[in-house]
Structure formats: structure tokens, C-alpha cells
Chains A and B, each alone.
Chain A
Amino acid sequence: MIAIEGIHKAFGANHVLRGVTFTVEAGEVVCLIGPSGSGKSTVLRCINGLERADSGSIRVAGQELGDATLPAIRRSVAMVFQRFNLFPHRTVLENVVEGPVHVLKEPRAEAEARGRDLLARVGMGDRADEFPMRLSGGQQQRVGIARALAMRPQAVLFDEPTSALDPERVGEVLQVMRSLAEEGMTMIVVTHEIAFAREVADRAIFMDGGTVVEQGAARAMLTDPQEPRTRLFLDRVLRPL
């Protein structure tokens, strides 16, 4: 479904990605973990073209990412952001139907009916007509997920979707993501929620210094990593003191 091969990316002298290679099969849930600055966000941003990799190739559903394919790939890969990035001047429902109506050109009535279904699915059915500012972080993120799903994506990229949330709000978002995973959505999730990754993800990828250090079946790798660097990182995340 998504195949990344040898991508490099530098911001000026800062060589952030140094040959990142991995693949994600359709229906697979892959968690991307690693220390701050290791390039996890940059990988996700390259996949949906918010950044352009300097070299290497990215294929989504058999199509090579390039100027010509970017619009189609953006439409088939949705993104959920750490800080939600909901449009503050539009209501919850308007946020959700924005893509379907203006990008996919769906009739508004149809998009709104579907949008309400999606909002109900993430437990936000009764807040459709409110503005995002009135919602808690967890609620905003659930709307962010509904907005992503409204594009009927073939894959969803999550960039630390729970990192900006109060601890007691993390669960409600992870719950939505878990049910999405169970329905067979292809997902790449950058997260520090190791327990979630262990339970929900099929595979885990550990990145450090702009390269993939280790990857494998999530449960095994996150319980008993083979690489010392992975082990060190997990120790720090799981036992911060």
C-alpha cells in the first residue's frame, strides 16, 4: 500500500532523513516510534507531500509520488495532526464536510449525512454544530479523525495524535483509533503510547537519527527489542524516572 525507499531529506545543513526504507501493507497498522528529532514527523509529511523528499521514492497504492500524482495521493492518504488543526471558523460538521464538498465535489446533503454518521462514530454526533474552540482537546482530535475519514482515505497518517491532550483525554482518542484499526484501516501512527502500539499495531518501526534502526511485529519488538538503541529508548519511555 505504501512503500518508502531510501528517502533522504535535509533542512539546510540538518540531514534529517538518511535513507529511510519501509513498507506498509493494506490493512496494516504500523507504529512509528523514536526519540524527538529522529525524523518521524518528517517521514509522515513526505508521504502526503507536505515536504518533498530530496531523493528516494515513495509509492502509494502503486503510484509513485510526484508532481503529477500528488493531488490524487493527497486525496487517498489522510492526516491527523498533533494539534488537531481544525478550521476555527467552521463548525464541527463543516470541518468534516470541507474536503468531501470542495475537493471530492460531493453533493452537500450527501456529504453532511455521511459527516454526521462519521461524527456519531467518533462519539461527537451531538456536537456537530459547535465551533471547535468550544471543545476539549480529545473532542477536537476525534473531530480531526472524522475529518480525515470523510475523505474516504485508503490510509490515515497520525502524527502523535494524543501528545497534546490532557492525560484523561488520551483514552477516548486511542479508543477511536483502535476501532478504526479493527475495521481494517491502513494506519501509520507516530506515537509515544507504547502500550497502545503493543496492543493495536501489527508492526512497529523504531527510528533514530534519521534511519530505521529496528522493525518487527509490534508486540514482540516492543516487549523484547533486539537493538540496544531500541531497548534504551523503550526503557526511557516506559520508566521515565
Chain B
Amino acid sequence: MNNPLEHTWQSVMDQLKTWARINSPWAIHFNSGSCNGCDIEILATLTPRYDMERFGVKLQGSPRHADILICTGPVTRQARERLIRIYEQMPEPKFVVAVGSCALTGGAFQGCYNVMGGIDQVIPVDAYIPGCPPRPEAIIDGLVKLLGSLKADGAPERASEPPLAASVLEPSS
């Protein structure tokens, strides 16, 4: 981008995109082995008492339309591949929110043979919301903080380095 005009144009577009994203992030929810406790609290945040849609957050089905991946539960060996696949299918820039103690560290299921640990063992995580399960207020707080950090510089600071290597993604049938 040598042309200064083009440069300005690009940065204006970027700002516009960030603005749009902050005001209406679309989220997708994936349960990679949770006990459902966190899932029902995420659903509860969408319902009238908490109403996450106030912040423009909309839960929808396809990873290809999503900006935010909300993960619950520890990663089980079965769900790992799917989790990676869903993450890969999301368009850039993408953000991952881990909800619940399980998603942070494996929580109560630490040491179970089919559990690999927290979400950040498999994909990079941008925001961690602790609790078993976190209250809907906490989930909203976490999401709003994530959006706030976007506002500041366009990208949240990654707490963990992406462990994704090309070899991780085994082609699945």
C-alpha cells in the first residue's frame, strides 16, 4: 500500500468494520463436553430477564457467520476435532470466549480420561469467564469487556498463544 489515499481508505474501512462488529457481534455456541449448566445460563442470557441482544449479540447457527465462538465445557477427545473444525470455519477476525470453570481448566472433570482440559489446550481463547456455572450477569460482563477491548485497539490481547498447527487439523470424513 504505497498510495497514501489507498492507505487512508483502508484504515477508514477497518474502523468501520470494527465499529460494526462491536455494535453487533454474532455469536455461535459450541458445547464440547459441558454438563449443560453453562449452556442453560448462556441461553438464559438471551431471554427477557438478561436480554443479551441489547448489546447486539445474536446467537446463530452457522460458524461461517459468526464473530464470537462461545465455548462451554472441557474439551473431550471426541469433540476436539469438531471444535477445531468450527474454529477454522469462522471468518477472521474471530474471538473465542470460554465460559465456565470447565472451559478454563477442565474444572471438576480434571483427571477424567476422556477430558483434555480447558478450551485453550485446543484453540486460542480471548476471554475467560469463570464460575460453575457463571451467572448470566458474569457472561454479559465478559462479553462486554471483550467488546470494550476491541474498541480500544481493534484486537484483544491474546492470553494464550495459538497452539494450532497445520497438522492438528486432520481431515475428517
A and B interact physically: no
